[in-house]
Structure 1
Amino acid sequence: MLDTDQARIRAKALPLTDEASLDPLMDRIGDARYVLLGEASHGTADYYRVRAVLTRRLIEEKGFSFVAVEGDWPDCQAVHCSVVGAPGASEDPGEVLADFRRWPTWMWGNTDVVAFTRWLRRHNEQRPAGHRVGFFGLDVYSLWESLHAVLAHLREHDPDRVEHALEAYRCFEPYTEDPQSYALATRYVPEGCEPQVVSLLTELRRQAAQAAAPDGSLAEFAARQNAEVLAGAERYYRAMLDSGPDSWNIRDHHMTDTLDRLMDHYGPDAKAVVWEHNTHIGDARATDMADTGMVNVGQLVRERHMGAGVVLVGFGSHSGTVIAADAWGEVPRVMGVPPAHAGSLEDLLHRALPGERALFVFPHVQFQRPPASGRGEWYHEEHGHRAIGVVYRPRFESVANYVPTVLAERYDAFCYLDCTHALTPLHPLAAESREEQTWPVGV
């Protein structure tokens, strides 16, 4: 016999068995212009596959304009060029993804993303050149790659301003593309390369505003965006040295600002799908992240654009396997995901829905906890919600892997997949990296 919690959960659960079972979520999305799709790890095939199915429907049935992911702008711009059939671009986006080298390569260099981007290219081949669906990276890490991209653009399109960009290049050059060396150096010269970067960014912002790209070309937009990445990365790496929320907040503000620029570029009718970890797309105000002064993309998009329609979708599972690494920069491997901690959200759902997959669609969000007296709905109660990063140690899974969460405030909908499986990377070996992420580890 089901206990009260299990009965309440089963009463809210919608079967998640095939593409048609996403219909209630499509109805909830309605005319929303922002749909943010999460994942509880970067190494789980099931999350990528459900996201891909839902994204295909959003593109085909609701006319979404582009997919924006937790990836680097330069790498994802190459994928974009492939999926829209840009002149000179690879005809196979899988080849582009196989060339990703920044650790963790498996986040985007995996068979599920290859399958989706190949579908996207086929879809775009049936559409006019100016109405093809894009694929972009929102993240902030590509300091040197973006600097090289700015230089290449200016050498080809505006050689008179190359010297301006070289000032920034010469400032960063002594650090041999090592962000930690640069960050440490700013302890002694606090402004670091900020003046050169800000000067370059100001100039490229002005140029981009003048260009207006009436033919829909991304050339000027991409140059400005690489300069924005350069500025964001410079701030991010300096902030990494301090404990506290600053580096995390710089990163999530940058990703949200990039999303806003893309929406402006695509025009007033644009619609965006975002793929990121739950810790980025689930509203931080419904977690303990807010207690430490952290914000995230989901919160910022809701605050800026709720009037345009924002839907946040989280994911989670109870057990299975995942691709992750034992330490930053190490070779990834398939790891077992142990049963979720007793009392966690995933444990609660597993006891009610053993072996099942379910969709939960919540009432419209209101940031108000239920009163202390009386029992609210289970999805308005706080439970630990598991988050697995690219660095994961299943044997030592701890409270740090669980984010205290009020589910129906953090997300508008939630996909529960009881047992999940590791994705298949395109590269079995990890590239060496000297970069480190900020808390939560590897998300």
Structure 2
Amino acid sequence: MLYIKRPVKIFFCFISLLITFPLLGQSILNLSFEPHVNGNQPLKLWYTKGPNYVFYIDTTLATEGKGSLVIESKLAQPTAFFTIYTNKLPVDSVKGKLLTLQVLARAEKPIVIQTYIAVQGKVDRLNDVLRMDTLKSFGKWHPYKLQIPVPLEAGQVAFGFRMFGSGKVWFDKATILLDSIPYPDIPIIEPDSSATTASARTPSQIEIDWLQKYNLPLQTFNPAVPLEDLYFIKSIMGTAQIVGLGEVSHGSREIFLMKHRLLRYLVEQHGFSLFAIEADMGAADRLNQYVLAGEGDPRQLLTGLGFWTWNTEEILGLISWMRKYNMKSTTKVKFTGFDMQVPEVAMDNLWQFAEKRDTLLKNSLQPIKEFIKTVRTTNTRAGMMSSQLQSKARLACRLLHERIELQKGYYLNILTLDELSTLRQDLLLLNQFIEFHLLPLKEAAGYRDACMADNLHYLLGKYPKEKVVVWAHNGHVSNQGMYVDVRPMGRYLKDTYKEKYINVGFAFGQGSYRGIDPASGKIATIKAEPAQVGSYEQFFDKVNSSAFMLDLRKISLSKATQWLFEPRYFRTVGAMATRREFSQTQIVKEFDLILFLKESTAAKAL
């Protein structure tokens, strides 16, 4: 299930300009070409090229305001046959959007001019679009308009105007549109070559005031207290039937409790009835029997998930709440998982079925059992595993699949459709586990996210009328991908389910979390790295609230909000602590909503 380029001849000097364009400080583009801006440097952010041409602001002629841009040749026959007047947009503001350039132009005599947009990748030119005209009816303003889709892999974007030959040309009232929305002429902040972030600065007062006005405050992370402060969520839910709840680490007590509280709200107020966690699907089904019917010991079943990250008081409290809710409610909340890293339960299910119903399956299951045992006992990947074992495991999965499909009639005589579907899914989990461990580590992370998305799609097919809460790391629920070369599970879900999938990214300002200490290799309480200067967390921490949410989908670009659209440092920690907790991302692309907590403490181990 899961898973315009227009060639134009262009001179080499223009391409080299894109590559060598200097990074500058805080100034405005000055698209209306006003004379007294940027400290009386109205063309500060523009780059000019071409001998025997001059560039300046004309304060005697303008369509609006007090000035217009002039390109003028000083010689009757300039030695250069064209000139460039260009600027770069912050590329992360325009990636993935339709970029439109509009401008008015006039000349003192018939002359050839050109407007252009060019997109440069990290290595190769990706896209350019230009319009070249001879202005014959001089003395009048003529409108120009260009459009180009900017690829996500864009490295730099430039636009500008050219004049060929001698004469004088005016440009005014330039406008940039991103997906038909005007790009405001506000301060653009780009780092110099020594900068460590896209905007290494502290928040301004106008930015703090905006955050203070538009944040959605949350009273507490305690899941047991009344939910009235969450009722605003109803107005931002839309048609969502899948809600991904992220987490900045796998060990923050406050984040776990807040996610529990959000789950309770979604269940009680919006009828969500399927809970899916980043854990083994088979083991999660055993916990489901507890929350539905009280079967088993929840502590033992929680340990059986195979993820130490969930062996905490907070997750046990969530499971206990689900059980209590199901005991008094006619609508039951189900517990399930969607990961594929712990296939032992799937193997047990298939082995027991083979012993009781189809002993021929055991011959094919044996090489897979050996593969799992080798992974568990040696903690190895394909590079240290015999090629014979690898081939046998892959062949066994193929033969098992073929037998089940060829004997489908037999299986339908002894199984229900739902039981047959579960049998196939268990086999798929084994195959996913094998392929995950045979892939190079660099590719395995992306493969895992694709598998988790497929497994969620299976669950949504199994429970077609259910609305689901997905519990996973920020990196998995995100829309674009917070890690290099990894397409996240959230991207697959967004592509497939559109507006029915929304996600919530989580962040905290300071404190600690539970994780693996890389020095000792043991699970410990890790002191969190302080929020870096210019990080999203530093901005969020200025709000006078211990916890709040922001709806990132409804924020318009302005002087007060530009920082949200810029790539900034954002904390991300997995199961293991790292020396550098912050990496660059752009949260408006990654999340629909962001939930910030000022303090985090380590989750409490069972």
Which residue identity does 1:94 align to in structure 2? R
Are the equivalent residues in 2 in contact too, given 1:80–1:135 (CA < 8 A)? Answer: yes
How far apart in 1 are the matches of 2:402 and 2:583?
39
CA gap 1:381/1:213 in 2 versus in 1, 3 angstroms: farther
Counterpart in the other structure of 1:406: 586
Counterpart in the other structure of 1:335: 526
Deviations 1:321-358 (A, max 9, x none): 111111399321112213211111111211x2266211
CA gap 1:22/1:208 in 2 versus in 1, 3 angstroms: farther
Counterpart in the other structure of 1:73: 281
Are the equivalent residues in 1 in contact too, given 2:280–2:339 (CA < 8 A)? Answer: yes
Deviations 1:355-375 (A, max 9, x none): 621111122699xxx79xx78
CA gap 1:174/1:58 in 2 versus in 1, 3 angstroms: closer
Deviations 1:116-142 (A, max 9, x none): 1111112222355xx532111211211
Shift in Å, 1:188: 7.4
Counterpart in the other structure of 1:27: 235
Counterpart in the other structure of 2:304: 100
CA gap 1:159/1:187 in 2 versus in 1, 3 angstroms: closer
Are the equivalent residues in 2 in contact too, given 1:94–1:118 (CA < 8 A)? Answer: no
Are the equivalent residues in 1 in contact too, given 2:276–2:469 (CA < 8 A)? Answer: yes
Are the equivalent residues in 1 in contact too, given 2:286–2:301 (CA < 8 A)? Answer: yes
**2:473 aligned with 1:280:** no
**Of residues 439, 444, 447 in structure 2, which corresponds to 1:250?**
447
Three-state SS of the structure 2 residue aligned to 1:84 is helix
Shift in Å, 1:319: 0.5
What is the 5 A alignment of 1:107-186?
107-127=309-329, 132-169=332-369, 177-180=377-380, 183-185=383-385
Are the equivalent residues in 1 in contact too, given 2:255–2:506 (CA < 8 A)? Answer: yes
CA gap 1:215/1:191 in 2 versus in 1, 3 angstroms: closer
How far apart in 2 are the matches of 1:172 and 1:10?
52
Which residue identity does 2:230 align to in structure 1? L
Which residue identity does 1:197 align to in structure 2? C
CA gap 1:334/1:168 in 2 versus in 1, 3 angstroms: closer
CA gap 1:304/1:101 in 2 versus in 1, 3 angstroms: closer
**Of residues 442, 461, 464 in structure 2, which corresponds to 1:264?**
461
How far apart in 2 are the matches of 1:64 and 1:153?
33
Deviations 1:401-428 (A, max 9, x none): 32322222211111100111111111xx
Aligned residues with identical type, % of pairs: 19
Which residue identity does 1:229 align to in structure 2? L
Counterpart in the other structure of 1:435: none
Shift in Å, 1:281: 0.7
How far apart in 2 are the matches of 1:25 and 1:176?
43
How far apart in 1 are the matches of 2:345 and 2:364?
17
Comparing 411-420 with 335-344, which one deviates more in the overlay?
A: 335-344
Q: Which segments of 5 or more consecutive residues in structure 1 lack a partner in the other structure?
A: 427-443
Counterpart in the other structure of 1:13: 215
How far apart in 2 are the matches of 1:215 and 1:68?
24
How far apart in 1 are the matches of 2:245 and 2:375?
36
Which residue identity does 1:377 align to in structure 2? Q
Three-state SS of the structure 2 residue aligned to 1:137 is strand
How far apart in 2 are the matches of 1:207 and 1:320?
57
Counterpart in the other structure of 1:305: 497
Shift in Å, 1:376: 5.3
Q: Which segments of 5 or more consecutive residues in structure 2 lack a partner in the other structure?
A: 1-202, 221-226
How far apart in 2 are the matches of 1:283 and 1:376?
20
Comparing 69-78 with 252-261, which one deviates more in the overlay?
A: 69-78
Which residue identity does 1:126 align to in structure 2? K
How far apart in 1 are the matches of 2:270 and 2:596?
24
C-alpha RMSD over aligned residues: 3.2
Counterpart in the other structure of 2:601: 421
Comparing 336-345 with 171-180, which one deviates more in the overlay?
A: 171-180
What is the 5 A alignment of 1:185-196?
185=385, 191=391, 193-196=393-396
CA gap 1:12/1:176 in 2 versus in 1, 3 angstroms: closer
Are the equivalent residues in 1 in contact too, given 2:382–2:439 (CA < 8 A)? Answer: no
How far apart in 2 are the matches of 1:414 and 1:222?
35
Are the equivalent residues in 2 in contact too, given 1:164–1:200 (CA < 8 A)? Answer: yes
Are the equivalent residues in 2 in contact too, given 1:314–1:413 (CA < 8 A)? Answer: yes
Counterpart in the other structure of 2:548: 358
How far apart in 1 are the matches of 2:414 and 2:316?
30
TM-score by structure 2 length? 0.60
Shift in Å, 1:202: 4.6
Deviations 1:218-261 (A, max 9, x none): x44443322211111111111145xx3x2111100110000000
The structure carrying a bigger helix percent of its residues is 1
Counterpart in the other structure of 2:144: none
Ranked by relative contact order (alpha carbons within 8 Å, sequence separation 6 or more), the top structure is 1
Are the equivalent residues in 1 in contact too, given 2:364–2:397 (CA < 8 A)? Answer: no
Are the equivalent residues in 1 in contact too, given 2:553–2:588 (CA < 8 A)? Answer: yes
Comparing 16-25 with 328-337, which one deviates more in the overlay?
A: 328-337
Shift in Å, 1:174: 6.0
Three-state SS of the structure 2 residue aligned to 1:138 is strand
Counterpart in the other structure of 2:562: 377
TM-score by structure 1 length? 0.80
Three-state SS of the structure 2 residue aligned to 1:274 is strand
How far apart in 1 are the matches of 2:554 and 2:417?
36
Shift in Å, 1:41: 0.6
**2:271 aligned with 1:63:** yes
Deviations 1:29-53 (A, max 9, x none): 2331110000101110111111111
How far apart in 1 are the matches of 2:406 and 2:569?
46
Are the equivalent residues in 1 in contact too, given 2:351–2:365 (CA < 8 A)? Answer: yes
How far apart in 1 are the matches of 2:587 and 2:600?
20
